[in-house]
Amino acid sequence: ADSHLYPLPELPYDYDALEPAIDKQTLTIHHDRHHQGYVNGLNSTLESIGKAQKAGDFGDMQKLSRKLAFHGSGHVLHTIYWASMTPKKTQPKGALLKAIEADFGSVDTLKGQIGAAAGSAAGSGWGLLAYEPVGDRLVVVQIEKHENQIFCGVVPLMVIDVWEHAYYLKYQNRRGDYVKAVMDILDWDSTAQRY
């Protein structure tokens, strides 16, 4: 069972690589403590589910399902979030650019839409660019509580974390400034790979 535990993935760049958009202290705390917390929670939830399986007692399934969704979504979304940003300057191209133009009209429209979704997510949440395989199209999804609100079946391609821990040390309540800064460090190459 241990081989199925989730490890905390390393950042694909140094802790200070995204400055000034995202400062070193924020990135360090966000990755080493917040993301680690989701990984720990996910693994301990899986351990509890394993015990329930062995005991044949699924009386706690509602509680365990919520924990699995909360920590599992948190882990996956943070993993995509780190990969959604880069200190290199990248631009959408190829098949990803074609899909963006087909489903949004232009890259600027997509940026406006995902920026608005991230900027207006209530309290804590995410702006997400995702691939929806049933209709073979790209969609922007606003996530308010990642354990509750999800477009089932979508494949996350690029995500912006707008929980306060993602920006508060540097931006305080100016979430819009943080979202705007993130727009300039998006990693379109890794997004294209996932697409």
Binding site for Mn ion (CB under 5 A): 161, 163
In the bound complex, what is the minimum distance in angstroms from residue 73's beta carbon to Mn ion?
Answer: 11
Q: Which is nearer to Mn ion, 37 or 112 (CB)?
A: 37
Q: How far apart are CA 84 and CA 126, in angstroms?
A: 12
List all residues 6 or more positions away from 101 whose beta carbon is below 8 Å from its beta carbon.
107
Q: Which is nearer to Mn ion, 100 or 117 (CB)?
A: 117
The sheet with strand 155-161 has its strands ordered as 137-143, 126-132, 155-161
Q: Pairing mode, if any, of strands 137-143 and 155-161?
A: unpaired
Q: Which is nearer to Mn ion, 74 or 92 (CB)?
A: 74
In the bound complex, what is the minimum distance in angstroms from residue 16's beta carbon to Mn ion?
Answer: 18
Burial category of 59 from C-beta neighbours within 10 Å (exposed 0-12, middle 13-18, buried 19 and up): exposed
Q: Which is nearer to Mn ion, 76 or 139 (CB)?
A: 76
Q: Which is nearer to Mn ion, 161 or 187 (CB)?
A: 161
Judge whether 149 and 3 are in contact, CB under 8 Å.
Answer: no
N-to-C CA span, the chain? 31
Q: How far apart are CA 158 and CA 172, in angstroms?
A: 24
Question: CB nearest Mn ion: which residue?
Answer: 161
In the bound complex, what is the minimum distance in angstroms from residue 35's beta carbon to Mn ion?
Answer: 7
Q: How far apart are CA 17 and CA 22, in angstroms?
A: 8
In the bound complex, what is the minimum distance in angstroms from residue 108's beta carbon to Mn ion?
Answer: 26
In the bound complex, what is the minimum distance in angstroms from residue 124's beta carbon to Mn ion?
Answer: 8
Q: Which is nearer to Mn ion, 103 or 161 (CB)?
A: 161
Side-chain half-sphere CA neighbours of 101 within 13 A: 7
Q: Which two tokens stand for residue 62?
A: 């509602």
In the bound complex, what is the minimum distance in angstroms from residue 137's beta carbon to Mn ion?
Answer: 27
